[in-house]
Amino acid sequence: MDLQLSGRVAIVTGASKGIGLAVARTLAEEGAHVVAVSRTRTDELPDKVVHVSADLMDPQAPERIVERAVEEFGGVDILVNNAGGPPPGVVLPRAGFLTPDDADWAAMFEFNLFSPVRMIRAAIPLMLERGGGAIVNVSSTMAKQPGPINVDYGAAKMALLAAGKSLSEEYAPQGIRVNTVSPGATLTDWWTKPGGAAEVFGSLVGSDRDSVITEVAPTMMKLATGRLVHPQEVADAIVLLASPRSGSTTGAEYVVDGGQLKEI
């Protein structure tokens, strides 16, 4: 299926690994001009992808990123707000409401809400100049299934989901679609790296990292598929929503979670 993305200009944040890397690659394969944003570049990005080194905790970074997209390709058609998760230097999961203090809450919202809000604010005027565009925000199933773990993270991701729905209502008449993809537990660096979520969970339940990934986590989260989500599966949903083939989809939330969420 032709996703009609050839020649379109896309910005992807958090593009050095995991979901963001898969999104940047897929957009490039579909013929889009891609500006990949991360603190450091990975050799896994295609050569034709333009990399912008930026720390999205810096309030000035979004303007610089958008300016680079204009310099390289003349504008912005697609924005994928994928960067998120633990702020730099933070390890999740983090259990208990009383564990994060004010500074922890502030950093979590800065990275997972304010950074994408600033990216959207910087991109919208350019999208309007080009007659429209597509914004895809990456939230999390933790926004929809609250619990005593990562309370601040879930709250920030729910706020991002709400902001996206409000934006879709305001800007759809002007040609800008805003949608959200909410992944469940995904086989990314967050889980697999030394000291990552798999090892933290393992220390809590008396299991090893590999067993947590393949057995313990899927069972605890009641994943109907019996496994964690692959980053490419999330990327495929994001790229479809960014495509003009999804021209009547706005204000929607696509969940890619292996059957974790059970609500109707």
Domain boundaries, the chain: 9-185+230-256, 187-228
Instruction: Collapse the DSSP code of 261 into the 3-class scheme (helix H, G, I; strand E, B; otherwise coil) and give the result.
Output: coil
> Is residue 67 over pLDDT 90?
yes
Give the mean model confidence (pLDDT) for residues 141-164.
94
Min mean pLDDT across 27-41, 82-96, 193-207 is at 193-207
pLDDT in the model for residue 140: 97
Count CA atoms within 13 Å of residue 235 on its CB side.
23
Given pLDDT bands bounded at 50, 70 and 90, which one contains residue 128?
Answer: very high
pLDDT in the model for residue 206: 87
Q: Which positions are annotated as active-site residues?
A: 153
35 and 79 Cβ atoms separated by less than 8 Å: no
Q: Is the dihedral of CA 109, 157, 243, 13 positive or negative?
A: positive
pLDDT in the model for residue 198: 87
Given pLDDT bands bounded at 50, 70 and 90, which one contains residue 143?
Answer: very high
Residue range 9-185+230-256 forms a domain whose CATH class is alpha beta
pLDDT digits (tens, 9 = 90+) for 174-211: 999 999 999 999 999 888 888 888 888 788 788 898 99
pTM of the complete model: 0.95
Q: What is the CB neighbour count within 10 angstroms for residue 19? A: 31
pLDDT in the model for residue 88: 87
- Please state, rounded to an integer, the average pLDDT across all residues of the chain: 95
Give the mean model confidence (pLDDT) for residues 100-110.
96
φ, ψ for residue 61 (rounded to 5)?
-60, -45
pLDDT in the model for residue 92: 81
